[in-house]
Homo-oligomer: A and B are copies of this chain.
Amino acid sequence: MVKTLEDIMQESNIVDVLRNSKIGMYVYPVVAPEFTNWRSEQNAWRNSVVVYDQSHHMDEVTVEGPDAEAFLSYVGINSFANFGTDVAKHFVPVTPEGHVIGDHIIFRLEENKFVTVGRAPTSNWIMFQAAIGKWNVKVSHDPRSDSRPDGKAIYRTHYRFQIQGPDADKIFEKINGGPVPEVKFFRVADINIGTRKVKALRHGMAGAPGLEIWGPYADKHYIQTTIQQAARDVGVEMHFVGSRAYSTNTLESGWIPSPLPGIYTGGGMMKEYREFLTENSYEAAGSIGGSYVSENIEDYYVNPFELGYGFYIGWKKDDFIGKDALAKLKDAPSNRKKVTFEWNADDVMKVISSSFKPGEKNYKWIDFPQPNYASSSADMVMHGDKMVGMSMFNGYSFNERCMLSLGVVDSSVEVGDVLELVWGEPNGGSGKTSTEPHEQTTIRVRVSPTPYSTEARTSYADSWRTKGN
């Protein structure tokens, strides 16, 4: 019989289980690793235009029915005011104790039909809530694509592309056969792509303007080639972004994709949820990577205020899961704040060069541009002997010529502070198959704003990053 997450937790400490998961890398599947090369692809999202093929790495959940709005409004923390048809939001559910479960982008397609897109923890939670509640809704789930298709055909319900960058509008105008309707950020418009009428969301990752478009998966090839032809026609150098560069765009824009879902603790509904989740679920089979090891899984959780999502909260809603807990957490002095960590280049070189010394111990290899080696990352950030922060998502930016990571720090930490990130896992590494055996070391990091700003880049970065503290 298939075990549940709760069964696993009865047998073992869940931190041990997740830190030693054999699931391997959390990958961005199906999309080619590189179309040109990952440096040029990163450069293109800042300086020309890119296409992100988001058709494969996210779950999609469709919620429809007379109670769709009431149900989702209860499950997420967000205000649902001003949430008309053809509007999207960044949807965040938390546990009754206020721990972040995950986040999706939610689109209202019709009065009674929503689609949400993102990582598995939010999908699973929505499905669970629909299953245990008495809502009049129909929920359908299209899980992300297989991580290792190995030559098998892959089908999704929808294709999904984001076209972003300073030159994006030239392409849209060409594709649409005329100016693209003026729409506000996170509003949806209809545009023409060749013979197809397509939904397009005004969006921007990595700080650049752009559109997210989607439609039936069967149209993917047609849409892709039509966009390509339009770029050629207007003489714009458009780059498709491969799976190696893709996940690093968030380091410049400041969104943390992978907080550990706060679902491993709590009784009542939470226990029921862990009995609902099987051993193969993201929550049970996924992994925690990084130097931070705590016996208490709650130490890996974050709350919405810490991720900067406080202003989403629909306080005026009658009720939603976590409302009471969040009311108490609001303005709590224990809340950390989200920052970008700039990694010191000399220290990064120290780590890399350790893998060029035969017979000596090596530090954890920093894989470029994406060194994360787990579904959720937690690296300790120290001020002297005191842990004052947690680094949660790492990556190299060729645009910044710098390793960056996103995470949270205690309220006492200020932008500009230089701290030490502990790199690598203790005791020679964990049982994860995504790590080679290694020694721990430290890397100096400078606390910087999120999103990583032009000011941070220009005012002190150049001098500090390469010349040390």
A positions within 8 Å CB-CB of B: 24-25, 27, 30-37, 39-40, 43, 55-56, 145, 147-155, 345, 348-349, 352-353, 355-360, 362, 365, 367-368, 373, 398, 400-403, 433-436, 457, 461-462, 465-466
> How many angstroms between the C-alpha atoms of A348 and B349 in the bound complex?
11
Q: Nearest Cβ in chain B — how far from A16, in angstroms?
A: 19
A434/B37 contact (C-beta < 8 A), A356-B466, A398-B355 known: yes
A436/B358 contact (C-beta < 8 A), A150-B31, A151-B145 known: no
> How many angstroms between the C-alpha atoms of A398 and B356 in the bound complex?
8
Question: Are B401 and A462 neighbours in the complex by a CB distance under 8 Å?
Answer: no
- Report chain B residues within 8 Å CB of A154: 151
Question: Are B357 and A466 neighbours in the complex by a CB distance under 8 Å?
Answer: yes
A356/B349 contact (C-beta < 8 A), A40-B436, A433-B37, A436-B37 known: yes
- Report chain B residues within 8 Å CB of A352: 349, 352
Q: Nearest Cβ in chain B — how far from A92, in angstroms?
A: 30
Question: Are B150 and A153 neighbours in the complex by a CB distance under 8 Å?
Answer: no
Q: Nearest Cβ in chain B — how far from A249, in angstroms?
A: 17
Closest to A146 in B: B151
- Report chain B residues within 8 Å CB of A353: 345, 349
Closest to A239 in B: B433
Q: Lowest 3 A-B CB distances belong to which pairs?
A: A153-B153, A151-B154, A345-B356
- Report chain B residues within 8 Å CB of A24: 34-36
> How many angstroms between the C-alpha atoms of A55 and B56 in the bound complex?
24
> How many angstroms between the C-alpha atoms of A376 and B384 in the bound complex?
50
- Report chain B residues within 8 Å CB of A359: 401, 462
- Report chain B residues within 8 Å CB of A360: 401
Q: Nearest Cβ in chain B — how far from A257, in angstroms?
A: 19
- Report chain B residues within 8 Å CB of A357: 345, 401, 466
Question: Are A465 and B356 neighbours in the complex by a CB distance under 8 Å?
Answer: yes
- Report chain B residues within 8 Å CB of A33: 27, 33
* 30 residue pairs A–B, Cβ–Cβ below 8 Å: A24-B35, A27-B32, A27-B33, A32-B148, A35-B148, A36-B433, A36-B434, A37-B435, A40-B433, A56-B151, A151-B153, A152-B153, A153-B153, A345-B353, A345-B356, A345-B357, A348-B356, A349-B352, A352-B352, A355-B398, A356-B401, A356-B403, A357-B401, A357-B466, A358-B402, A358-B462, A358-B465, A358-B466, A359-B462, A362-B401
